[in-house]
Amino acid sequence: MDRQTGHDRRRALRAAFYAMRVWRMFDTVSARMIVIILLSAGPMAMIGGLQAWYSYRHTLAAPAFRADMAVGRINLEIRHDVDHLSALLNAINLMSLDEQAIGRTLQLAQSLTGHFYPQLALLDDRGNVIVAVDNGHTLSSGGNVPAEGLPRFSGDVRVEPLDLSGPERDGRSYVRISIQTAIADTGGNAVRQGFLTAIMPLVWSRHHLQIGDPRLDFMQKDGAIDAWIVGRDHNIAPLCEDCWGMRVPPPQVLQWIHTLSPDSTTHATMSMGDASFAYGPVEGGVGALTMTRRNVAETHALVMFIIWLFVIVSLLGCGLIGVTKSANLLLIAPLRRLTTSVAQWQTSGGGFDAHSTWSMPAEIRRLANAFATATRTLARHEQRLARASVRQELLLKEMHHRVKNNLQIVASLLNLQANRIRQPEAREEFTQARDRVRALATLHRYLYADGELFSLNMEHFVSELCGQIFQAVGEGTGTRIALQINAERLEMVPDQAVPLALILTEVVSNAIKYAFPEGRHGTISVGLVKEDGHMARLWITDDGIGLSAGRRRDAEDRTGIGLQLIRGFARQLGGTLEIVEDGGTRFEMVFPLQARDDPNESRQTS
C-alpha cells in the first residue's frame, strides 16, 4: 500500500513538473502570439489542406475509376458485336432458304466480314453440323453442339463461352452465338427445324473497325488504356490483336486474377505504383482486365498537391517566424528595456530613463511616459519626505536636548533646595526626587547623543545610569559596594525605557542606602536580558541585610512612595514584579517588549 502511494505521488509530481514546463513554454508573449496565430490561421490552413488532400485522393482514384469504366465499355462493345452478329443470323433466318442456299449465304457473310469469324454453321435439330463455313477450326465436341448450348425457342439468342481445341488453339477466348431457324426443302417449304450458329473471337482488330469507331481509343500506340480478355480457365489474351507495344500484366496482377472467381458478377480494382487495374465480367461469360496510368493532368494535380502543401506549411512557418521576430523587435524588446530601466531606477534611484523610441508601439511609449511622470512625481515626494524627516529628527533631537537641559536644571534646583533643608526626612525626599529627575535626564541625553530617536540601546544606558546613581549617593563603585552589570544589547522604545529607568533608580538607590549599613561591604547585581523572542527579564539583587531589616518594616506592609512607584511602573510595563528576601533582596520583573515603530521604516516599506 505504501509502495503504491509513493508511486502515485511520484507520478503526480512528474505530471505537475511537465505541466509547469508546458506553462512556462506558453508564459511568454512570443509563445502566446504564436498560439493566437495558430488558432486564427490554423482552421484556414486545415481547410486548404483538406481540400488539397481530397483532390489528391480523387486524383489517385481517377486511374482506377477509368480502368473500371473501361471494363464497362468493353462489355458494352462486345455486347454490341454480339447483337450485330445475332442480327446477321436473324437476317439469314428470315430468308427461309434451303440447305444449299444457307451455305452459300454463310460463305458470302464470311467473305463480307473478312473471314473474321472462325466458323459459321447450320445445325440440325440435334446440333449436328449440316453446313459449316470455317477457317480450319473445329468444334470442341467433334462436330456437334450439345443440346444445353442451343436455343430453346424461336427468337432466343444463346451466347456461351467456347474453347477451341486442336493445333489451332491460340489462347484467345471465343463465344458461340446460336439462334433457331427453319430449313426449307428443295421446293421452298419449311419441313424441319435447325440452328444457325457462329463462333466469334473476343478480339478487336484495326482492320475490322471503321474510322471513328470508339474502340480505336483502346488501340493507340502507348495509349492510356491496356485491355485483356480473361477466359474461364484464367487464360489471358490481348483485346487488341494488332496493337503496337501491347504490355503484359505483371505477375502480381496474374496472381490477383487467379484469386477471383470466374463467375463473379462484381468489379474489382487494385493499384500498383502509378498503374491501376480493374477486372469485371463481360458478355459471353468471360472477364475483362484493364490497366490505366496517370495522365499528364493527374500527374500535374499530384505535383500541385505537393506544392500546395509546401506552400501552406511554408507560409504558416514564415508567418510564425515573422510574428516571433516582429514581437521580439516591436514588443518584447521595448518591454525588456522598460523593465530594465525600472529595475535600475529601483536600485540606484535618481531619474527614470525609459529609452523611448519611435520604433516602440504607441501603447508602450505611453506606458514609458507614464512611468517617467510617476517616477518624477515620486522623486519629488521622496525629496520632500526626506527633508521633512531630517527636519523632524532635528526637532526631536532639539526637543530631547532641551528636555535634558531642563531636567538637569530641575535636578540642580532640587539639589540646592535639599542642601538648605535641615530635616533629614525632607532632605531625603528631595534627594530621591533629584535622582529620579537625573535618571530621566540621562535617558534623554542618550536619545539625543546616539541619534536613535525611536529606540534605546539598554546595554550602555543601564551601566551609565547605575554608575550615576552610585555617584549621586556618594558611593564609589568597587570601594565598599561592588556593582555587577549583565545587560544585553537590547533595543527598547522610549515609552518602556522611562519606567524601566525609574525602577532601576528606585531599587538601586534604596539598596545602596539601606542594604549595607554601618560600612558593610557587599555587591549589587543588575541584569537585563531578552527571553523567548518578545519578552525581557530585569533583576536587581543585593547581598545586604534585606528589605525588612533595612526599613524596619515588612515588605507586604510597606506603603512608602518608592515601592508604590516601583509597582506602578511595573504595571505600566505590563510585567509581573516579584520581591524575594533570601540572604539579601531580589527584585525580578518579566515584561513584554514593544515592537519598534520607526516612521522611517514605515515610509520605506510603503
pLDDT band at 212 (very low <50, low <70, confident <90, very high): low
The helix (H) or strand (E) run that includes residue 579 is strand 576-581
Provide the pLDDT for residue 589: 93
Q: Are 554 and 548 in contact (CB under 8 A)?
A: yes
Is residue 413 over pLDDT 60? yes
Provide the pLDDT for residue 526: 93
CA dihedral for 25, 29, 33, 36, sign (positive or negative): positive
Residue 373 and residue 482 in one domain: no
pLDDT band at 463 (very low <50, low <70, confident <90, very high): confident
Which among 390, 420, 450 is the end of a domain? 450
Section 19-29 average pLDDT: 65
Tell me, what DSSP letter sits at residue 149? G
CB < 8 Å & 24+ apart, contacts of 409-418 = 410/437, 411/437, 411/438, 411/441
Tell me the residue range of the domain where 476 lies: 454-606
Is residue 599 over pLDDT 50? no
Q: What is the mean pLDDT of the chain?
A: 77
Section 552-570 average pLDDT: 65
Higher-pLDDT residue of 198 and 17 is: 198
Kindly provide the residue ranges of all beta strands, DSSP E only, lying in 118-242, ordered along the sequence. Answer: 119-123, 129-134, 158-162, 174-184, 190-201, 225-230, 236-238
Residue 202 and residue 258 in one domain: yes
Provide the pLDDT for residue 356: 62
Provide the pLDDT for residue 492: 84
Provide the pLDDT for residue 299: 74
pLDDT band at 558 (very low <50, low <70, confident <90, very high): very low
Provide the pLDDT for residue 221: 57
Q: How far apart are the first and last CA of the chain?
A: 52
Residue 29 lies in a domain: no
Residue 257 and residue 363 in one domain: no
Residue 470 and residue 606 in one domain: yes
Residue 169 and residue 71 in one domain: yes
Residue 321 lies in a domain: no
Domain count, the chain: 3
Q: What is the CATH number of the domain that holds 540?
A: 3.30.565.10
Question: How many C-beta atoms lie closer than 10 Å to residue 419's C-beta?
Answer: 10
Is residue 116 over pLDDT 70? yes
The model's pLDDT over 33-86, given as tens digits with 9 standing for 90+, comes to 777 777 777 777 777 777 777 777 777 777 888 888 888 888 888 898 899 989
By the 10 Å C-beta count (0-12 exposed, 13-18 middle, 19+ buried), 552 is classed as exposed
Residue 93 and residue 165 in one domain: yes
Question: How many C-beta atoms lie closer than 10 Å to residue 55's C-beta?
Answer: 15
Is residue 206 over pLDDT 80? no
Residue 275 lies in a domain: yes
Residue 542 and residue 404 in one domain: no
Residue 115 and residue 210 in one domain: yes
pLDDT band at 538 (very low <50, low <70, confident <90, very high): very high
Section 565-586 average pLDDT: 88
- Report CA-CA distances (Å) from 463 to 300, 460, 467, 509, 585: 104, 5, 6, 14, 20
Q: Are 172 and 203 in contact (CB under 8 A)?
A: yes
Which among 390, 419, 450 is the end of a domain? 450
> Among 247-251, 265-269, 595-599, where is mean pLDDT lowest?
595-599
Provide the pLDDT for residue 254: 83
By the 10 Å C-beta count (0-12 exposed, 13-18 middle, 19+ buried), 114 is classed as exposed
Provide the pLDDT for residue 506: 85
Residue 422 lies in a domain: yes
Residue 338 lies in a domain: no
Bridge partner list, 159: 177
Q: Which amino acid is at 376?
A: R
Residue 265 lies in a domain: yes
Is residue 143 over pLDDT 80? no
Buried b or exposed e, range 69-97, using 16+ CB within 10 angstroms: ebbebbbebbeebbeebbebbeebbeeeb
Residue 445 and residue 460 in one domain: no
Bridge partner list, 340: none
pLDDT band at 302 (very low <50, low <70, confident <90, very high): confident
Residue 441 and residue 556 in one domain: no
pLDDT band at 283 (very low <50, low <70, confident <90, very high): confident
- What is the arrangement of strands in the sheet containing 236-238, beginning at the earlier edge strand? 236-238, 225-230, 286-293, 275-282, 268-272
Section 322-342 average pLDDT: 76
Global pTM reads 0.48
- What is the arrangement of strands in the sheet containing 585-592, beginning at the earlier edge strand? 481-487, 522-531, 535-542, 585-592, 576-581
pLDDT band at 328 (very low <50, low <70, confident <90, very high): confident
Is residue 353 over pLDDT 70? no
Residue 225 lies in a domain: yes
Which among 450, 479, 495 is the end of a domain? 450
Higher-pLDDT residue of 48 and 89 is: 89
Which one, of 123, 284, 90, lies nearest residue 194 by Cα? 123
Residue 172 and residue 307 in one domain: yes
| Percent residues over pLDDT 70 in the chain | 80
Set of cell numbers at residue 543: 547581598
Phi, psi of 163 (to 5 degrees): -110, 125
Residue 53 and residue 91 in one domain: yes
Provide the pLDDT for residue 167: 46
Is residue 597 over pLDDT 70? no
Is residue 409 over pLDDT 70? yes
Residue 326 lies in a domain: no
